[in-house]
Chain A
């Protein structure tokens, strides 16, 4: 397309052309794929990864501890429920980390949807 017309005096034809080009660019599969892969992919630094893993693990253990401690306080069952729930919390943390590892290609670490995660793994 010639771009010698000055921007202030754009003819409707130019605008139509532009609109069509824009529409085509937006709809093309290439753009969508590029957009998606750029958007959902984080700069995968080792530090960021370590941080994500530790947060997932520790938060689950913390929740397990809180539940166990609370139940112990309610039922007066000594330290036992706390012990049990810390172990369960650890298991939940490992589960969280596993889920994160499955969606490793994603920015946030979770697979967004089942179909998306499988296509990501193939790449």
Chain B
């Protein structure tokens, strides 16, 4: 396969504007570009939708309100009223991932959510934030989180490390889920698309049908993974606020 035609070439980071701050490579890359595009899109979508807020909403306003209500209900159902202060954060993270995934569905675009560095950074901040909230709210009582109620003390030396490992594995499973789904889906699309050309007119229609179906599936996954990330954040927050 020629250079640049590998199914993985789409995930390559390309430096657009080289910037170096104190020996650290902080260049503006194609990944950064699509993050900026995502933020602009979300801002335009929401601000534009709310520009003329009328009582009977138009299509655009409906969509903006729908996304708001969707996350508001999610926070209310999963965290309860104590979750209200954290709604902006969860809404932001949901919209950022969702629109980032959708930007990635555009041909020739770059999917920044297919990079573990990006997803892990988000998951790590969620994890640190949730842990700090739990400690701030429950102080030392937080440590009972690692000791399930009704367990005999004899089991503690075994169970506490297991619970701690289980707790620490959260940001990893949270980030790997999103990253692996996006990476696998986009690679699969590219691989099947490559088959269309190599099989030609004779049998090329078969992978073509696959690609059409997979594209639809990818849109579902793009939404689902943003949703999963947001709802898991809610659940972790719920754990932090209520401890078991």
Contact = CB atoms under 8 A, between A and B. Distances in A.
Interface of A: 10, 15, 18-19, 35-36, 39-40, 42-43, 51-52, 55-56, 58-60, 62-64, 67, 85, 88-89, 91-93, 95-96, 107-108, 110, 112-113
A39 to B, nearest CB: 7
Contacts, number: 81
Nearest 9 interchain pairs by C-beta:
A59-B172, A92-B165, A92-B166, A60-B169, A59-B173, A59-B169, A63-B169, A63-B168, A92-B162
Given A63-B165, A63-B169, A88-B165, A55 B228 contact: no
Interface of B is mostly: helix
B56 interface: yes
Contacts of B173: 55-56, 59-60, 96
Interface residues of B, number: 28
Q: Which of A39, A40, A59 has the largest count of B CB atoms less than 10 A from its CB? A: A59
Given A18-B56, A96-B173, A55 B165 contact: no
10 contacts: A39-B70, A39-B73, A40-B231, A59-B176, A62-B169, A62-B172, A92-B165, A95-B166, A107-B227, A113-B78
Given A51-B177, A60-B173, A85-B165, 16 more contacts: A19-B55, A36-B77, A51-B180, A55-B176, A55-B180, A56-B169, A59-B173, A63-B165, A85-B161, A95-B166, A96-B166, A107-B224, A107-B228, A108-B228, A110-B232, A110-B235
B163 interface: yes
Contacts of A52: 177
A59 B169 CA distance: 6
Contacts of A91: 162, 165
Main secondary structure of the interface of A (DSSP, over half): helix
Contact of A35 (B73, B169, B176, B181): B73
B162 A112 contact: no
B78 A107 contact: no
B238 interface: yes
